[in-house]
Structure formats: structure tokens, C-alpha cells
Amino acid sequence: MKKNDLSALQENCFCFCDEEISREAPFQVPIDIPEGFTVDSAEAAAAVTWSTDHLSCISEPCLIQTGPETEDIGVRYAVRIQGAVTLLVSVSPVRNQYGQGNGSVSVIHTEEIDQIVYYAAQSDRCPDFSQMTVEDLLIVPPFYGSPLTVTGTIVFPPSPGSQSYVFTANSGDSTVSVIDAAANIVVATIPFTSVPTDLGVTKDKAYTYVLHGNTNLISVVDNQTLTVANTITVGTGPRKIQFDPAGELAYVMAAGSIYTIDLALQAVSDVFSVPDAADFALDPNGQFVFTANTIFWSIDQYDVNTGQLVDSLVNEFEYPSLIETPYAGDFAYVMTGELWPKGVAEISLSPLSREGDFNRLFETLRTIVFSFDSTRAYFLEPYIDPSLIHNLTVVNTATNAIIASVSVPGAFDLAVTPDNQYIYAAQPNDNTVTVYRTSDYAAVTVIPVGTGPSAIAM
């Protein structure tokens, strides 16, 4: 939205979305123990019940930068919790001065709340207060005349029905477009100073890692706020990212090495060399990296824990240059062939061996994308009219049978929805993303995005 479109919002929206967010509210409650009674803090336990009857939720519109130009302004909603949480705090056991009895002492405490718990693209994203929790209860014994104190943290629930986003890396204008997958519209445009060339979304959908292939940088986008939360330095030219199934680590190929990123720390935790690798894929169990070696015409297997080469398939392929693994299964697909056309072979990952070839050749493949249930694979070729129109080949991974050959004009990369019902195709020449149904591969909508979308993830 441009700034000259904001007049209707000025009455209710005067600021940028710069307030800190927090779903936590710490509290401390002093408790006076009646005269003649004691509490042994070593054995005492605290309990809390609460009421949220006096809490309310407000969605406040605020402004965000949606593009690289100063006039590129959009609207986001700050979800604010206001009011009071009533806590009934109890401590037990309470005994008399002779160590007799097993009672408890309770007090009512009111904790005032006024904070933004998250930002959302829509105005109706208030949390479910019944899902609120109280955590980290601690009894602090009295000292220097102060009373016994119970401390803890009120934790508000996350946004209900977390939004599903599709991200495109727009190499033409150095932005990432964020598409709301429910509405199929762009809800944010994130600007960068370095060109985004590839990206990937973490398993928990909390962050998107944006690779800048013209530098040695990776940007980390917080998918809750749709802002850049961190920047990680790796080797020159990061070109592919894969996430382990546990959701704890990411692996990035850059400068002839694989960089291991600790997702909790958002920092590089290890690096090992993968000489002559043109491409890599992580096995579905997260234990090994497999590289396509174009110099020695081999598939090389590395242990991600030690970085050691543990096995190789040598001279089984001609010029393997692309390798992809499914989300589940012990196989991979490899593109082979030094010249054109190209072939595709299946390999077994355990033990490492060649299984067979597809019974057709391809112009070349831009990418191989698997469905989330690993039952389908999508082979994407360049769209060259009129010599190559049916540039998307759909494969049944159980039988390696081709079940469809369809046209996705101008597509450079693909993303498949978790239910396998739709394909999002990034089209850099048209600055668009087209959504296709997988039931008949018909286009259902076209979404304008940034300039030159060359990679897509969801």
C-alpha cells in the first residue's frame, strides 16, 4: 500500500509497528505467614489458579515497511492484551511452631496487563484466553524482614490458527514477497540490501532462512512479525538449505562446504568440506548428507556428525549435478548427463546403490520437489515454447511411473501445499506466482509479487 492510500487509516493508526512483543508477564506475590506458623521453603510448594474475566483483546492497526522505497507502506495489526489477571496463590504446607499441622496460606493477587503479544496480518487474531498458562513457579524465602514471595510467569497462547505463508525470493529487486496462502494475496514485502537467491522455512514454520548467493550471508525472518530477526555469516555464495527432521539444525552448502546451523541459537555450529559438490541433499533421517560430485562423477555420503566421507558411488553416473531426497523414504533422485538431454536415476540411500533409471529424458531440470507425504515428485524443466510445453512431470514415487505431464509456463521453482492439493509456481519473467490445482493442474489464481521471483518456499 502506498502512503497516499493511508488517509482512511490516519484516525486510528499513527505509528509504525515498533513496540516490543511478549507473550509472557512475570509476577511476584508477597505472602504473610500468620504469627506462630512457619513454612519450610525447602519442602514448600506453590499453586496458582486464575481468572481472565477482566482481560480484553484489542487489534491495533499500525504501519510496516512493505518494500524498498520509503513510500511502500502497509498495515499490520498489533494484538494487545489489556486488563487484569486475578491470581489465587497458595503455599503449603504451613505448620505451627512445633511442626504440627499441614495447612496452606492463600492470597488473591491482581496482575495488570498491557502488552502486545504478537503482530498479525488480520484484525481478528485474538488469543484464546482459556489456553493461558502459569509457569516457572518459585518460592523465595523471607529475608531481612521481607515476606515470603511466590514468583512466576503468565504465558499467553500463540496466535490462533497460525497463518500459512508462501515466500518468494525476488532476485530482481532484492525483496522477499510474503503470500497469505489462505487469501492468495501478498501481505508483506521484506526488503534486503543483498540479493535473495534461495530460501527455506523451518519445520515449525517459525522462521524463514533467506540465502544471499551474491554474499556470504543468510537472513533469518521471524514469521510471526515478518521482519528480519538475525543475520548469519557462512561461506561465500550460499546456494541451498535443508532442515533436519527434528527441527533442530539446518544445513547450507556454500564455498565447497556444508555449514551446520543451530536453529535455537541461529548460529553456525559446525562446518565440513564437501569437495567438488555441485548439489547436496539431506537424508530423511537427518544423519547423512549426499552430494552430487561433477568432477569424479560420484554420489558422496558424509556423516553430518563427524563431517567424514563414509561411502561413495563412483562412475555409476555421468556427471551427476542435482540430487533431491523425499521427506520420508530411503531413496533419492539424481539428474545425470554432461550434455543434453538429461537423465534421472533413482538411488538407494541404505545401502548406497544405484536402483534404476527413468525411461525418459529431460531437457534439463530446474528442480525436483516432493510432496509432504513423499508419494509424489515433481520434475520441473524450463518452459521453452513451442519445443517444450509440458515442462512439469509428475511421478508416483512408489512405482516411479509418470502420472502426468503438464504445462506450467515460465516456472522457475515450485512449492507444494502440505495437503498436496495445490502447487505454487514462481515465474520470474512475469513477476508472478501462479497457483495450480493438482487434481487437474489447472491454474486457479495468479499473484503479482516482486521482481524476478526465482525461489519459493512455504
Q: What is the pLDDT of residues 184-226, one digit of tens each?
A: 888 889 999 999 999 999 998 999 999 999 999 999 999 888 8
Q: 260 to each of 155, 172, 267, how far by Cα in Å?
A: 32, 28, 8
pLDDT for 3 equals 38
Report pLDDT for 2. 39
Per-residue pLDDT at 16: 73
Measured CA to CA, the distance from residue 71 to residue 427 in angstroms comes to 26
For the chain, domain boundaries: 3-155, 165-457
Residue type, 309: L
pLDDT for 5 equals 47
Global pTM reads 0.70
Those residues of the chain that have pLDDT short of 50 are 1-10, 66-68
Residue 162 has a pLDDT of: 58
For the chain, the distance separating the N- and C-terminal CA atoms, rounded to the nearest angstrom, is 23
pLDDT of residue 77: 81
Task: Indicate the class that CATH gives domain 165-457.
Answer: mainly beta
Buried b (16+ CB within 10 A) or exposed e, 117-152: bbbbbeeebbbebeebebeeeebeeeeeeeebbbeb
Smallest CA-to-CA distance from 134 within 117, 158, 157 is with: 157
- Cell numbers at residue 409, please? 509456463
